[in-house]
């Protein structure tokens, strides 16, 4: 199966996971614009009419929004999968979500794995949260372990964006994956020197904000070395446009992988407006 990111960062997020026989899922679909998502999918021969579900990581507007996510689901009859503990927050936030629910297009999941087509989706909790200054609602943020099991063969992606920090539970959920797609948000020095308001910097750097390049690198290195050779690709997600560069992110993650002898693993970087490389496992 394959994973391609169609755009990643605070300007919007959307990733496609596709099996050879045609189970297709999106992870998040927001803010990039309906045309961007539709066009990038159609360049890959994928029509939204044949997407089996949109999985929501959390409720920040760069991941789920009323302008892109709900219309895409409504127009194409695609179920939106949300954590059950996010449901009430979503209802309060937008009446379009209520309309989607009444149209039978909202599916609630809890912490148990569930099946969509040929894929098994196992959500895991991540500590990302609200900044608190504007009462923004995030629901119950999750990462996903997405697996395709065929006979004795099991392939899986571990996908985690917007983490804050990596808990033992989240790290455990990533072990043994064939590919990691993980947040690599900021360079700490650039964030501190950014001139952004102090409360915003404190939130980004804190345990409910975003992962730094070093945090991402250390996590990727621990997961790769504990997974004993299973991890064959790494995709870095959600880079800050102001406080990071692809080179800083790549160098930091490669340095961490080198320390554990795993720097042979290819690393790709997702961009805000351009599709990433396709990761095939």
d(CA 8, CA 14): 7
The residues, any chain, with a CB within 8 Å of residue 14's CB and separated by 6 or more, are 5, 6, 7, 26, 27, 28, 29, 30, 32, 37, 40
Binding region for Zn ion (CB under 5 A) out of 61-69, 116-124, 146-154, 240-248: 61-69
Nearer to Zn ion, 117 or 127 (CB): 127
Q: Does 233 bind Zn ion (CB under 5 A)?
A: no
Give the residue closest to Zn ion by C-beta: 60
Binding region for Zn ion (CB under 5 A) out of 53-61, 190-198, 248-256, 271-279: 53-61
Phi-psi region of 39 (alpha: psi -120 to 50; beta: other; left: phi over 0): alpha
Q: How many CB atoms lie within 10 A of CB 103?
A: 12
Please report, in angstroms and rounded to a whole number, the separation of the first and last CA atoms in the chain: 6
Residue 30 beta carbon to Zn ion: minimum distance, rounded to whole angstroms: 9
Nearer to Zn ion, 30 or 72 (CB): 30
d(CA 5, CA 238): 10
d(CA 75, CA 158): 29
Residue 262 beta carbon to Zn ion: minimum distance, rounded to whole angstroms: 27
Tell me whether residue 151 is exposed, middle or buried, using C-beta atoms within 10 angstroms of its C-beta: 0 to 12, 13 to 18, 19 or more: exposed
62, 183, 187, 268: which one binds Zn ion (CB under 5 A): 62
Residue 27 beta carbon to Zn ion: minimum distance, rounded to whole angstroms: 12
d(CA 221, CA 236): 13
Residue 62 beta carbon to Zn ion: minimum distance, rounded to whole angstroms: 4
Interface mask toward Zn ion for 151-180; x: CB under 5 A: -----------x------------------
Q: Does 60 bind Zn ion (CB under 5 A)?
A: yes
Nearer to Zn ion, 162 or 191 (CB): 162
Residue 259 beta carbon to Zn ion: minimum distance, rounded to whole angstroms: 28
The residues, any chain, with a CB within 8 Å of residue 167's CB and separated by 6 or more, are 125, 126, 127
Residue 102 beta carbon to Zn ion: minimum distance, rounded to whole angstroms: 27
Nearer to Zn ion, 183 or 262 (CB): 183
Positions in the binding site for Zn ion (CB under 5 A): 60, 62, 162
């Amino acid at each position: 199966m394959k994973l391609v990111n169609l755009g990643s960062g605070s300007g919007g997020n959307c990733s496609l996971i596709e099996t050879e026989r045609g189970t297709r899922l999106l992870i998040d679909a927001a803010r990039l614009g309906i045309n961007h998502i539709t066009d990038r999918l159609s360049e890959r021969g994928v029509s939204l009419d044949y997407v089996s579900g949109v999985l929501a990581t959390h409720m920040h507007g760069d991941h789920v929004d009323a302008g892109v996510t709900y219309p895409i689901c409504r127009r194409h009859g695609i179920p939106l999968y949300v954590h059950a503990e996010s449901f009430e927050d979503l209802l309060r936030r937008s009446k379009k979500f209520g309309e989607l629910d009444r149209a039978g297009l909202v599916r609630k999941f809890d912490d148990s794995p569930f099946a969509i087509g040929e894929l098994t989706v196992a959500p895991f909790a991540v500590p990302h949260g609200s900044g608190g200054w504007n009462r923004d609602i995030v629901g119950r943020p999750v990462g996903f372990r997405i697996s395709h099991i065929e006979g004795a063969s099991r392939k899986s992606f571990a996908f985690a964006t917007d983490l804050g920090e990596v808990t033992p539970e989240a790290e455990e959920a990533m072990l043994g994956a064939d590919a990691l797609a993980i947040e690599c948000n900021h360079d700490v020095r650039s964030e501190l020197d950014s001139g952004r308001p102090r409360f915003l910097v404190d939130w980004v750097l804190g345990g409910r904000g975003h992962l730094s390049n070093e945090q991402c690198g250390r996590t990727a290195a621990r997961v790769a070395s504990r997974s004993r050779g299973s991890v064959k690709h790494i995709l870095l997600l959600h880079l800050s446009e102001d406080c990071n560069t692809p080179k800083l992110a790549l160098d930091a993650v490669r340095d961490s992988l080198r320390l554990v002898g795993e720097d042979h693993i290819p690393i790709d970087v997702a961009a805000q407006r351009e599709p990433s490389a396709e990761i095939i496992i």
